[in-house]
Each structure stands twice: as structure tokens, then as C-alpha cells.
Structure 1
Amino acid sequence: MRHGPGHNHGHGHRGGRHPAPLRGFRSFVRGPLRRRLFLWVTASMLATGLVVGTGMTLTGGTWRQDAGRMRQFAAHRLAEVWDSPAQRDALVRAAATELLLDVEVQDATGAVLLRTGEPCDGEPDFTLPVERAGQRLGTASACRGPGRGRPPWRAPLGWVLAIATLWMVSGWLARRLARPMDLLALAARSLGEGRLDTRVDLGRHATGEFAVLASAFNEMAARIERQMGDQRELLATVSHELRTPLAHLRVLVELMRDAGGPERMAEQMEREVMELDSLVGELLANSRLDFGQLTRRALDGGELATRALERTGLPLELLGVQVADTRLEGDATLLGRALTNLLDNARGHGQGVVALRLLERDGRLAFCVEDQGPGLPPGEEGRLFEAFYRGRATGTGREAGALGLGLALVKRIAQAHGGDTFAENRAEGGARVGFTLGPRPPPSG
């Protein structure tokens, strides 16, 4: 059974389906290379932050012990000079100056002995009890004065700026690393769409393996362009060589008729020649589509339909124009071939042409041919345009010897012009087969 592009075989989930959040996460992770690089760099930043935070937490006890020992040292030094006011004041002022603190020293009764700077606004940052031999001498409290300490928002702001800078750098780095792959992917898509002159120019990104890959791609594209050019030349030569003997055969058939040869044999030979000529025309049109040789220009749908009726020998009264604007843009030769194939199909397999109509279908310009046959059997509307499909023995009345390339070519021509084909039964009997075109060109002027 053929599965669509979105089919999952579903390992580990019943029915082959994953929960919507998981599917969304997987599609995001499996996105472009630059996105995956960006995610990896972001993940490494988070992991680094986690490791640093864990290390700081584990070593925080040591820092607190060191801070406690420093407080104890300061209290002992202050106790040594407590009885000498001059030395005590000098030590306090030196500590306040070096550590950018406002210090206040009180005796055991709470009387202020010395204050450097302004009193603490609220609770002090820390308080040191000053003791000697178990006797309380006093206390020293300290706090950061106005303008001396860092604002409390500076540390978080620094972290935010650092993380934002690393994040932007990681995005730039991911884009730079993925840029060559993006250029190669665009070139491969362009080459696959038929622009054979596509080449990759990585510029300053041409380093290492990317330069080797770009060079290999350019060599491959050059070989493909050269081979396709050779095939186009061969096709032009073969088409000329085929059409020339066919024209000679037609002349010989007319000479045989003029000489009084059997009319029945002449008619059979002429039918075979016309069949060969039609087959060669269809093969050449298919080749033009394969090579992407479409010559687009502004056309008039009514004129195209008129020429198709004249080419097939049908009366112009069969043309019905049901739209006011018949402008279109496309390849006149290929569109003419598509209309001729529709008319030949209705005349040969639909028991005659009822009308060739120009109408609007789903907001687009459409050509359709109506026949007076028995109509299409159920299920054949979609298969009618398959290559080499001859239809059922009953219904369309296709001849056993037909290759079934005519309507398949119509579908290819329609798709090359941005449209599609359709087939349906008419309420009054017979079938309606046609094709739509892409968006119309804007009005001139």
C-alpha cells in the first residue's frame, strides 16, 4: 500500500501516531541545520550555567566559613587595640576606607564611640561582637554607605547581558555554519526545477568540505547541462529526419491516387502516415516538456481555440466563449497541441465533438471539449489522463491500437502552465474533458 508523505509507522505508539506536542518538538528539532546548531549551542550554555551554579552551591559552605574566620579576625584585632582609643579609631577608619563601609563602634553599654560616615539605614549588613577573655567590650557594625556599594540590580543585569550576548553570538555562529548548506540546498532545488545553468558560489563560506562539495555540485550541473544540450540537438535532428520521410510518404500517396491506384489502399496509407505524424508530434511535445522548453508569451484563448478547430477540420461554429477576458500567458505550440488532442479524443472516442468552450472554472480560464458519446464509466474520470491508459473495452470506445498518450500529454501541458485537467459526464449525455490554466497575466497598461 502506498503511504503519503506524512505516514508514520509509529514505533512505541499505538496506531503509529505520536502525541501532538511530541510531533511538534520533533519537527522543530529536525528543522534546518542552523536551528539545530543554535539549539545545541543554547543547550551547552544552559549546561555550563548548571555546572557553574552547582559548583558555587557546593563551595558556598567554604566561602561562608572563610567569611566567618575573617569576621573573627577583625573582632580579635579590634579587641587588641580596644583600650587604646587612638589605635582603635585608626584601625576602624582604615577598614572603613579600604572596604568602602560605614562603621559604627559602640561600648558595652551601647554608647557610640566612633562612627565613620552616615548611620546605617535600617539593619546593618553585619555586626561584630568585640570580646576579650569572655568579657564583652562592645560591638562594631558596618553597612555600605550611599553610592559606595553596587546597586542590587547590577548583578542580575550583568548576567542578563552576558547571556543575551552569548545567545546572539550563538545564533550568528549557527547561521554562518549553516549558510553553505542553505546555498547548496537552494542550488539543488533550482537545478531540479530545470534551471540547468544553476551554479553554487559560496564566496567567503567556501572552506573545507563545503568547498569540495560545491565544486562537485558545479561539475555535476555542468555535465547535466551539457548532456541535456546534446539531447536537445539530437532531438531536433531526429525530428527533422522523421518529418521529412513522412512528408515524402504523403506526396507518394497523392501520386498513387493520381496514377489511378487503389483508393482504399491510399486511404489506409494516409491514415498510417497521419498516425505516425501525430505520434511524432506528441513525442516531441513530451520532450519539450521534459527539457523545460516553454516559450511563454501573451496569447488570446479565442484565437488558440479557433486555430485548433481549423487544424482539425471542424467548423468554427463549435466554439463557445463564455468568458469576457480570454487573455492568457503560455506556449502557443504546446497549448495548441493540447486543444488538438482534446478535439481528436472527442472525435475519435466520443462519437463526435459537440462544442469547444472557453469558460471560467474555479476562478481560472479553462478549455473544455464536449462530446456526444456514451459518457465515462464510474471511476474513469481520474484515470483518463494516465499515460498508456486505454480505458475499458466498453465506455470510451478507445481503439485497441491507441497508445493513450494524447490526454496524458494534455495533463502535462496543463500542469506546466500552472493548471490541471478535469473530466466529467454531462447531464444531457456525453462527456466533458478539458484543462485549466494558471493565474492570468495582469492587464496591460
Structure 2
Amino acid sequence: MRRAGLRARVTAGFTVGALILSAMMALVSYHLTRDALLDERERTAVRAAYLEAAVVRARLGTERPDIVEILRSLDTGQDRRAVLWRNGTWYARNADAGTTEAIPEPLQQSVRDGRPAIQRVRAQGQPAVVVGVPLSDTTAFYHVDHLHELEHTLQVLGLVLTLVAVITAAAGAGIGWYSTRYTMRPIILVAGAAQEIAKGDLGARLDPATEPDLAKLTTSFNDMVDQLAQRIERDRRFAADVSHELRSPLQTLAAAASVLGRRRDHLDERSATAAGLVADEVDRFQRLVNDLLELARTDQPADRGPVDVVNLARQVCRSRQLPETLLERRDLDDRVWVVDRRRVEQVLGNLVDNASRHGGGASAIRLGRSAGMYYIEVDDEGPGVGTDDKQVIFDRFVRGRTATTRGDTEGTGLGLAIVAQHTAAHGGRVAVLDRPGGGARFRVELPEDPR
């Protein structure tokens, strides 16, 4: 399972933290508000019950009191009910719709014993507060206060607090995303500069003024790049100087080997074999020196210009005695590319030579256009490239396992490295793929836009 990125984890942390905090505050606020409203409602119910009980007690002291009329005279409103228990009989202002059944028996017993009582109950499916007031040994007054409006208010309050918690969590996610974006911006800048350097742009630098708090990191990074550029330049100059110095003695050796080669018929078999080996190794040495010189120059910018790549590919085929029928065009209306002619010619030549040496020969050379990129593909009929070799085959002095197994010593191990360097100079990319039906397919992609 792939682990989430740093930005996602930090944003999720902010979101969860904000949600937990807001949920806890909402829960506490709800309970505190609920308890305060219920306590206030109970105190109101108790005051109203005692006032009504006083009125009922006074009017019960008259001769032949009309209990129902007394209860009707009370201003109970829509949410309150008043009932009277007298001599074992219940009295109410209207028909009893379950009010007396809602009064708990323990509360009734407490009132009969002469102790006022209060209790929260559910009457007719709605929350209510019952207040019982003893008037005499045989009479008790009960005040039932329904709380459905208060319950509705608490429901609205709970919904509002839930929305606040959700909004707070969303705000926490936004703050987390913004914070990670701001704090990771220097890392993104460093990563971008590192990618540019990896592509060969040794002029990439970080601006110390962008993030003053990270000035030390910026300065250290720029110093590292400066030292790296100097080291690469020294190595390039060293390779170029050594290769250049080797050319003179190599030319002398090549001339001597040529003389020996022409006189092989006058030499004994052993000497003739040795002369042939010397000539082959001198030739290989010359190709190695030429490749080193080419690599020393690959760090220079590409010298772009209009190039008829189709004609260029045909020339490469003719120079290697390959049939031009190998050349294929795919979705390519424009034969002219804006590229460095010398570099592209060497890319084509090296890929064809690699196919000849290690892939049993080129089976197709393809020029095409796709997704804003021009591409060159060279297929071969060899055993293909192993997964491990695909990771390093474009490095310098790396030769595939198949070449090593066959004892192939003709290659220098620099041909594909030069291909990769020339491709990078154009801002493109190179890859090796598996060819359908077997073999390898080397693909070079070059951007249409030369900028």
C-alpha cells in the first residue's frame, strides 16, 4: 500500500485535530446550554406551580367549590396542564388525555406524604416536567409543563453546533493545506532546481531572498552546485585533454598497423595474427578516444537548425550498407525538425550500430510524431534488454549482459551514453522498451518546440 504524501498527511492531521477539537467544544457547549435551559425551565415551572397552587387552595376554601371551573381559571397556556387530586379523584380543566398517567407513582406518593416533588417525564411522547404541590392530606395539585419547544430549540442548537464543527474541520483542512504549501515551497524549489541540474542545467540556482529563514540552506545548495559544476568542468577538460593528447600517438600506431596489415602476406601465421589483433585494438582505441571527445562536448548547448531528418536517416542507412526500406514514417507530415544535425545524426548512427553489435541487426528505423514530441525508434532482433540492465544501460562504460555473455569486445560502452547526452541537450528523453515479438526497441523523444 502506497503511503500518503507529506502534504496529505499534514492536511489530514489538521483536519482531524480541528474536527476533534470542534466536536469536543460543540459537545460541551451543547450540554452546558441544555442543562442551563432545563434548569431555567424547571425553576419557571416550579414558580408557576406554586402560584397556581396558591390560587387553587384559596378558591377551594369557599363553600361548594367548582373544581373544574377553578382549574379553567388558571392561565396555563398551550404547553402546561394543571390537574388536581382530591379525595382519590382526579380533576382536570379538559378531558384527561393521558396527563395523569404521565405522573409517576413515586412522585404522587411523595406529594401525598406532604413533600413537594419535581420530576422530568415523557407525556404523550413529549418531554415534560411535573411539579407536585400538596394542598392537604386529601388534596394535591400537579403542574405538567411540556418541553417540546425546548426540545426543538435543543435540536436546532445541536444541528448548528454540528455544522460549526464540520466548517471548523474544513477550515482546519484549508489551513493545513495552505501551511504545508507554504512550508514545502522551499523544498519544492530545491527539488525543481535539483531536477534541472540532473537534466544538465548547471546554471540552476536558488534565490536566497525568496525564503530568508532558509538562507543557509539556499547558500549551501548554491555552493554545492558551484562545486559540482567546477568538478564536472574539470573532468570534461581532463577527458578532452587526454583524448586529444592520445590522438597523435594513436595516429602513429594506426599508420604502423596499416603498414603491418598490408604486409601480412609476407609474415608468418603467428606474426600475421598478432598484426591483425594490433590493428583491431588500435581501431577500437581510436573509437574510444573519439567517443570520449564527443562526451566531453555533450555538455555544450545544442546547435539547433532546420534538418531534413528523413534524408538524414537515409544517409545513415546508406553509410552502414542498410536498406532504406527499414525506414518508416509515422504521422510525420513535416520532414524538417529544428534540431542539432550533428547530434541527431550520431544518435541515429549509435542506435543502429548498437543494434548491429548487440541486437542481431536493426529491423526497423521509425520516425514519427506524438503528443507534441518527435520520436526516433530503432528496433532490433536480439534477445532484448533485461529489467536490471534497463536501469543503467545509458550510463557510461556500461554494456549489457548479453554482450558480456557473447564475449563481444567491439563496443566501447559509450555509444548509448552519448545518445542519452545528445537527447538531454535537446530537452528530450530516451528509453529502451521491449519490442512486440521479441527484441529491444530504443526510443528517443525530442520536443517539437525548441524553447
Q: Give the alignment's TM-score, normalised by structure 2.
A: 0.58
Partner of 1:113: 73
Which of 15, 37, 49 is the aligned partner of 1:38? 15
Report which structure shows greater RCO (CA 8 Å, sep ≥6): 2
Partner of 1:280: 292
Partner of 2:106: none
> Are 1:420 and 2:448 matched, yes or no?
no
Q: Distance in 1 between matches of 2:328 and 2:352?
A: 18
Give deviations 1:387-443, integer Å, cap 9, x for gaps: 5336558975612x754332455467668733422476999xxxx76521338748x
> Are 1:228 and 2:188 matched, yes or no?
no
Which of 403, 426, 443 is the aligned partner of 1:436? 443
Question: Structure 2: 5+ residue runs without aligned partners?
Answer: 60-64, 82-96, 98-123, 264-274
Give deviations 1:213-252, integer Å, cap 9, x for gaps: x323312321133123323543554455345435555776
Assess if the C-alpha contact under 8 Å between 1:359 and 1:366 holds in 2.
yes
Assess if the C-alpha contact under 8 Å between 1:422 and 1:434 holds in 2.
yes
Question: Alpha-carbon deviation of 1:280?
Answer: 0.8
Aligned pairs for 1:172-251 within 5 A:
172-195=174-197, 197-199=204-206, 212=213, 214-235=214-235, 237-238=237-238, 240-242=240-242, 244-246=244-246, 248-249=248-249
Give deviations 1:345-374, integer Å, cap 9, x for gaps: 4566678x677722569998443266xxxx
Aligned pairs for 1:302-381 within 5 A:
302-306=310-314, 308=316, 313-315=319-321, 318=324, 320-323=326-329, 325=332, 332-345=341-354, 357-358=365-366, 365-368=375-378, 376=382
Question: Alpha-carbon deviation of 1:336?
Answer: 3.1
Find the residue that maps to 1:199 and give its secondary structure. coil
- Kindly tell me: are residues 119 and 368 of structure 1, through their superposed partners in 2, closer, same or farther at Cα, counting changes over 3 Å? closer
Question: Alpha-carbon deviation of 1:114?
Answer: 4.5
> Are 1:389 and 2:366 matched, yes or no?
no
- Give the root-mean-square deviation of aligned CA atoms: 5.6
Q: Distance in 2 between matches of 1:63 and 1:261?
A: 114
Q: How many residues align?
A: 371
Q: Distance in 1 between matches of 2:344 and 2:281?
A: 29
Find the residue that maps to 1:404 and give its secondary structure. coil
Give deviations 1:108-134, integer Å, cap 9, x for gaps: 324422448779799896565565334
Q: Distance in 1 between matches of 2:436 and 2:138?
A: 114
Find the residue that maps to 1:322 and give its secondary structure. strand
Give deviations 1:314-337, integer Å, cap 9, x for gaps: 358546432151566766554433
Which amino acid is 1:322 matched to? E
Q: Distance in 2 between matches of 1:261 and 1:115?
A: 133
Identity %: 14
Q: Distance in 2 between matches of 1:381 and 1:119?
A: 82
Question: Alpha-carbon deviation of 1:302?
Answer: 1.8
Which amino acid is 1:321 matched to? L
Which amino acid is 1:421 matched to? V
Question: Structure 1: 5+ residue runs without aligned partners?
Answer: 1-22, 86-105
Give deviations 1:128-160, integer Å, cap 9, x for gaps: 5565334648666667999x9986763234213
Find the residue that maps to 2:196 and give its secondary structure. coil
Partner of 1:75: 49
- Kindly tell me: are residues 298 and 41 of structure 1, through their superposed partners in 2, closer, same or farther at Cα, counting changes over 3 Å? farther
- Kindly tell me: are residues 248 and 396 of structure 1, through their superposed partners in 2, closer, same or farther at Cα, counting changes over 3 Å? same
Partner of 2:104: none
- Kindly tell me: are residues 379 and 217 of structure 1, through their superposed partners in 2, closer, same or farther at Cα, counting changes over 3 Å? closer
Larger radius of gyration: 2
Assess if the C-alpha contact under 8 Å between 2:317 and 2:323 holds in 1.
no
Question: Alpha-carbon deviation of 1:32?
Answer: 3.4
Partner of 2:135: 132
Question: Alpha-carbon deviation of 1:173?
Answer: 2.7
Q: Give the alignment's TM-score, normalised by structure 1.
A: 0.59
- Kindly tell me: are residues 129 and 27 of structure 1, through their superposed partners in 2, closer, same or farther at Cα, counting changes over 3 Å? same
- Kindly tell me: are residues 167 and 129 of structure 1, through their superposed partners in 2, closer, same or farther at Cα, counting changes over 3 Å? same
